[in-house]
Chains A and B, each alone.
Chain A
C-alpha cells in the first residue's frame, strides 16, 4: 500500500516487493518468530530516510532497519508486524572521510568491516573489530548493537568505538550527536579541524547512548564517526593455555589493569577449534587436541620504538603469567601464530564461521564481571546435562569490555543444522539457561531473540523510564516495533 509513496521517495527500482526477498526477512538464524515485511526500501541518503519515516508515521507502518548483508542473527531484523517495511541501508555505503591524524572515519551504515579495514589500513590505521565479523557485517550496525571489540583497552566507554552519528528519530527529526551537532555542517567542521571526535552531547543529554542498544527502535543512523587506532609496526601473538577459566583469571585481571596487550580474549577449546578448524572433522579433532581454555592476546609496538614496546610488554606479561604458574606460547597444539593472527584481525569466512562446525548454532550472551564467569560456566554445563546436550559442544567466548570492568560472555550452542529435534532441544536449553543465568547475576544488557522481553521484567523502573523515552523519540511506535518492550506509562 505504501509502495507508491516509497517509490516516490527512492525511485521504483529501490523498492522491492519480491516475495523471496521479503521471505528472507521473515526469519533469521535465531529462534525469533516473525513475519515477512510488506516491502523493502533501499534509501541512498538521509533525506530519503526522513521521508520514509514521515511516511511510515502517517501510515502507522513499521520500519525495520537493516544494514548488513545476510546471514542475519539475533532477531533484530525479523519484522513482528506484517505492515512492516524493511529499510535496507546497505546501499548507503560511502566512506565519507578518513582522517589519519585524528584516527577517525566517518562512514555510512552500509560500510562493512572488511571494506573499512582495507581502506583505513592504507592510512596506517585499524578498525576496532568484534570477533570475526562476517565480511558483509555493517560496522555501524555492529557498534550500534554494542558488539564487543577485541581490544578492551580501547573500550573506554560502552559506546566505543562509536563516536558521533547522524540519526533520524521516529519523529522524522534529523539529529547529529556529539560534537558533530554543530556549529556548521561537516565541511565547516573539517575546515576548523573538527573530526566528529567528541561523542558527548550536545548539551545535557547523550542521545547516541539511547540509539545504541535500541535495536533500531528509536532512530535510524545515516552516518557515524568511528574511532580508529594505529596499525602496529611490530607485533607478536600469544596463547596461554589453561585447564579452566579460573586458572586464567588472575593473569587476565592483572593484564587488564595494566592495559597490557592489544587484542585480548579468552576462548574455550570448542570455539577456538571452530574458528581455526576447517570442516567438522577437523574441528572435532582439534577440539580434542586443544587445551580447554586459551587466553589469546597480541602485543604490539607502534611508531616509536615498536620493538621496545613489544619486548617490555612480553617481559611484563611473562612475569605476571609466571606468578600465576602460566606460560605464554607462540603456538599451541598445532595452532600457529598465523592462525591466531587470523582470529584477531580478519573477518569471518563465508557465510559465517559458526556454521562451520555443525551447521547450526544458537548464541547466549550476557555481561558480567570476570570473576562471575566460572559459576556461569558451571551452570551452563548443568543445564546442558539436564537437556541432554553434549557440554563439549558448547563454545565459550569471554571478551573483557570497558577496559576490564566487565566482560561479554558468549555461549554458542552448536547443533546439527538439519536436525529439528536437536534444534528444539537447543531452544529449550537456551530458554532454561537464560533464565538461570539471569537469576544468577548475568546481566542481559543486549536483549535478543525470543527472550528480549525477559531482561526488562527484572528492572520495572528502568522499563518505565524507557517507555517514556521511547515514546518521546518514536511517538508512533513505528521503528522496529516489538524489539524493545517500551511499556507505555
Chain B
C-alpha cells in the first residue's frame, strides 16, 4: 500500500528533478493560499494537530516495541532525517535574527544616533566575516585565508576567551560581597565555599599536611573534606534537584505536546 507513496517520494534523477522541485514549490504555495483562507476557528486545532504530530513521532519512536536484533523499530531510521529537518527549520529563523540586528543598527546609522560609528563597525565586521568565511570554504585563495585567519583565530576566538576570562574578576567581587555571615544560609554558603577553596589549592592542603595520609584522621585533611562534600552532600543534593527538574520538564512537555499550556501566547485569539 505504501509502495507507490514511497516511490513518489524517492530521489529523482537530474532530468526530472526540476519538475519535482517546481511542483513542490507550487504545491506549497497553493497550500499557503488554502491556509490563508482557513476559517479562524480551524486555526487553533490545526496548530495543535501539527504540534501533536511532531511530538508523536519522537514519542512513538521511543515507546514502540523494538526488534531485539537491530535495536530498532519502524521509525528509528527516520531519526536522522528528523534531526536534519529540525536543524533546517531552526536554522531558517537565523535570518529573522540577523534582520533584527540590521534593523536596529541600520536605524542607528541612518539617524546618526549617538555611537552610530559602532553600528558601522558591527556591520563591517559582519560583512567581512561572511565574505571571507565563505571564500575560505568555497573559493580557496591564500590572501582570503589569511584575512579569515585574522578575523576568526585572531579576533573572534580571542574575544571569546577574553569575555570568558572576565568571570575571574566578577567571581572575586561576588564572593567578597556575598560571603558574609549575614544569615544562616549565607554562612553555610561561605563556609563550604571556603573549605572547598582550601582543598583546591596546594597552599590549603599544606595546612593539614601534618595529618596522616591514612587512617581515621586522614579524613580531616582539607582535600578529603572537599572530596567528601563533593561526593556525598553535593552529589545527593544535585540529584534531588535533578529529579524535580526532570518531573517538571516532563510536565511542561506534556502540556505543550497536548496543547494544554496556558499563557498570553497560547490563549490569544487568532
A, B assembled together? no
Residues of chain A touching chain B, judged by Cβ–Cβ distance below 8 Å, are: none
